[in-house]
Amino acid sequence: MTKQFLLLLLITVFLSSCGKSYKIKGSSSVPTLDGKTVYVKVIKNDKWVTIDSAEIVHGEFKLNGSVDSVEMASIFLDDESVAPIVLESGAMELSITQSDITVKGTTLNDKLYKFVAKKNYIDDRAQENQRLESQRILDGVDPDEAQEQMNEGNTKLSDELRGYVKSFIRENYDNVLGPSVFLMVCSSTFPYPLLTPDLQELVDQAPENFRNNPKIKEYVAKAKDNIQNIQEQQLLQQHEENAPQAPPRPQVQPNRY
């Protein structure tokens, strides 16, 4: 009986460890990448740390390892970060082409790259809208009218993207994608931590686990400090502008003899 129990225990441990492993099957259709190294890196103490690597040989490579918990990572080609990836248990496929890099096969990576594809689609439409402005002018449309049409199109696309990003973050408050996309939007919008009304709304409506995420807490705290400093500077500037001006000092004319 004891031997059977130990055997069952070993099988259970083995199956549990298998459930916490990831496998990445990679392919590249870019010939110049053969011989280069693909790295999987995570941020530890504000630095990128390599946890896995593989050389691309004849357009193929494999990565695998164990995961204690689900976390965001990044795919590097040599020293360049080229794509995000969610490290979670399961089998993934990483595809590198001339125009795109995608990861699929696990729940959160499928969600992430669906989001990336939709965002890229909206961005492409914005670029096309800008190209159409020049085409309208060439076709004889008044430049001011062409500019107005482009602005209207860009406003609609901007509203569409903003709404999509907000809904995606809300839908993923409880996993690594919500905080990661939130911080990605912040870093791509501002040179230093700030919060727009939309971003503040997302934080206010978020569950406690999102607000208590260490990176979210740090960003929000710095953003509030920056906003307070900006407001104080604006008040000081306004006070200086409204302060009564001292009368000009009379100019002393030189004595003439």
Domain count for the chain: 3
Residues 201, 167: Cα–Cα separation, whole Å = 12
Let me know if residue 184 belongs to a domain.
Answer: yes
- For the chain, residues with pLDDT lower than 70 are 1-19, 245-257
Residues 143, 210: Cα–Cα separation, whole Å = 47
Let me know if residue 5 belongs to a domain.
Answer: no
Helix 197-205, helix 177-189: angle, nearest 10: 160
Which of 155, 171, 187 terminates a domain? The answer is 171
Mind listing the pLDDT tens digit for each residue in 211-228?
Answer: 999 999 999 999 999 999
List beta partners, residue 81.
76
CATH of the domain at 57: 2.60.40.1120
Domain housing 76: 21-105
pLDDT, position 8: 45
pLDDT, position 2: 53
List CB contacts of 70: < 8 A, sequence separation 6 or more: 86, 87, 88, 108, 175, 176
Asked whether residue 29 falls in the same domain as residue 76, the answer is yes
Asked whether residue 27 falls in the same domain as residue 84, the answer is yes
Q: What angle do CA 162, 173, 77 make, to 5 degrees?
A: 75
Q: What is the pTM of this model?
A: 0.79
